[in-house]
Amino acid sequence: MPLLAELPADVLEKLQPNLFEGEFKQGELILREGEYCDGAYYLLDGLVEVRFGRSEGAPDTMANAEKQNARSWATLKGGKKRATAPVNPTATVLLPEIPVDLTPGGRTVLERGEIFGEGSALSRYPIATDITAASAVKCLLIRTPALRSMLDLPELASFKELFDSRYKQRALRSHLHRVDLFKDLGDAVIERLVEAVDLVTFKPGRVIAEQGKPADTFFLVRGGYVKVGVKVGSGDVAATYLRKGDWAGETALLLDEPWPFTLTALEHVELVKLARADMQEVLREFPQLEAQLWQTLTSRLKLVRQAAGDPLHSQPLQFAMDSGLIHGESVLLINLETCTRCDECVRGCADAHGGEPRFVREGIKFKNFSVPTACYQCTDPVCMIGCPTGAISRPLGTLEVVIDKATCIGCGNCVRRCPWGNILQVQYNSPTLNKEIGLASKCDLCVGRDAGPACVQMCPHGAAVRVSFKQQDLIDSLFSR
């Protein structure tokens, strides 16, 4: 393959376990809107159709493709094809990566040498379009570990250039328009920013910006989580964290002072980097943005002072970072001071799910709270990647990650992928397979139940609550009691 021809043999050997050659028939659905994928597709031969949101009354050229089974990484390694999972075509999600600049119902065609799926692989966005083989297609499938390595290789500088240019052309405009700070800027200004940015990546634990060093850069987070820490003695404590769509660097624009905090990558982080001069030019044209930047700076400095003055106050946030709770959109907490261990929460859950509870009351503990073994409904649900039947899904625009009993084959892929151990397997006699399997079982927030999650509703003492760790004021009030 021309892409890999110049690589030394030892480098290629390291990459090879994460490289696969995939073939798709004409009309076959390669990626479905709403899915997450664990790699990028480099088009070696054939044509690929990209279609964004089928508008009402629009001709559905993919009607036949809809009947096809999508392929996953497991398929390429000898697994079964996965049945397509239903999604809500009218739903939206925050900051989706759109592979091309399309309006609902729009379509385009990608040719040999193009790449797609990279945004979901690196930045953990759901696929925002249906992608179908418009002819017989051959792809090189590059799983995320290999993709990260390839983007760092000097021998593949042209590949990185292609990769970055495609992101700027396809997704960066959409990304900037969805960020509060930039959403009201004109198209001409957005175009200038697109041309001016650098795309940078940081590995877990790497310092992005250090407290006390010159602040001359503005960062926008497009993937991953970033710790905002402040020095206390010989170490540092957490003041807050950044996630997709957040920014940092307002100090450089407003005060021309050193960084008042340290930014550290909590995991693989993808950032959009803008120079101070480029951002100051925008501020001169749109002085109303200063108020928003001052508001952000003031609130962050307040958190920094609070963390530095009372390091114990930062313990809940640090616990959330260490335990992964910051990934959760709906985390179940039980107040151990008011919980009587009556198990009404478990019984309520079981009653709502045919007698089988979807969580275990015992779990990790912090201060006066217990975190049961229950799905966090992560912002980036890695459990969905590579399900060989599509049994685990999250329709676009919804919160609940759900498992379909009819298509689960008990392979345990999602169980192994969950970083927090919140998916269990229970014995189940599958009528589809006509045998007993270890059915994947997890909390689904009692989806479809009018009263919401039964665990919270049925607790007679109000000990059970569900929170997002984005709600820092709520978290502070809970753990300061």
CB 41 within 8 A of CB 117: yes
* Beta strand residue intervals within 46-94, DSSP E: 48-52
Q: Tell me: the pLDDT tens digits for 315-348?
A: 888 888 988 899 998 999 999 999 999 999 999 9
**So what's the pLDDT on residue 146?**
93
CB 372 within 8 A of CB 464: no
**So what's the pLDDT on residue 158?**
87
Q: What pTM value is reported for the model?
A: 0.80
CB 235 within 8 A of CB 320: no
Instruction: Please check whether the two domains, 9-156 and 179-309, share a CATH topology.
Output: yes
Rounded CA-CA distance 182/222 in Å is 14
- Cα 39 to the center of its chain, rounded Å: 13
**So what's the pLDDT on residue 339?**
93
Instruction: Kindly give the parts of the chain with pLDDT less than 70.
Output: 52-106, 396-397, 480-481
* Other C-beta atoms lying within 10 Å of the C-beta of residue 86: 11
3-state helix, strand, coil in the chain (%, to 5): 30, 25, 45
Please state, in angstroms and as integers, the Cα–Cα distance from residue 359 to each residue in 250, 373, 402, 406, 454, following that order.
Answer: 42, 6, 14, 21, 12
The token pair that represents 265 in the structure block: 């990558």
CB 127 within 8 A of CB 74: no
Q: Which helix (H) or strand (E) is 285 found in, with range? A: helix 276-285
Task: Count CA atoms within 13 Å of residue 350 on its CB side.
Answer: 10
SS3 322: helix
Of 226, 224, 231, 251, which is closest to residue 241 (Cα–Cα)?
Answer: 226
Of 379, 380, 429, 381, which is closest to residue 408 (Cα–Cα)?
Answer: 429
Of 166, 140, 165, 152, which is closest to residue 40 (Cα–Cα)?
Answer: 140
> Between β-strands 217-223 and 247-248, what pairing exists: parallel, antiparallel or unpaired?
antiparallel
The token pair that represents 410 in the structure block: 């008990």
Side chain identity at residue 367, one-letter code? K
Of 137, 70, 139, which is closest to residue 390 (Cα–Cα)?
Answer: 70
Domain residue extents for the chain: 9-156, 179-309, 324-479
Rounded CA-CA distance 376/422 in Å is 8
Side chain identity at residue 187, one-letter code? D
Provide CATH code, domain 179-309. 2.60.120.10
Of 415, 386, 423, 331, which is closest to residue 120 (Cα–Cα)?
Answer: 386
SS3 223: strand
Backbone dihedral region of 333: left (phi > 0), alpha (psi from -120 to 50 degrees) or beta? beta
CB 389 within 8 A of CB 415: no
In 29-138, which ranges are continuous DSSP H helix? Answer: 63-66, 73-76, 118-123
Of 269, 248, 267, 270, which is closest to residue 259 (Cα–Cα)?
Answer: 248
Provide CATH code, domain 9-156. 2.60.120.10
Q: Which helix (H) or strand (E) is 306 found in, with range? A: helix 289-309
**So what's the pLDDT on residue 99?**
45
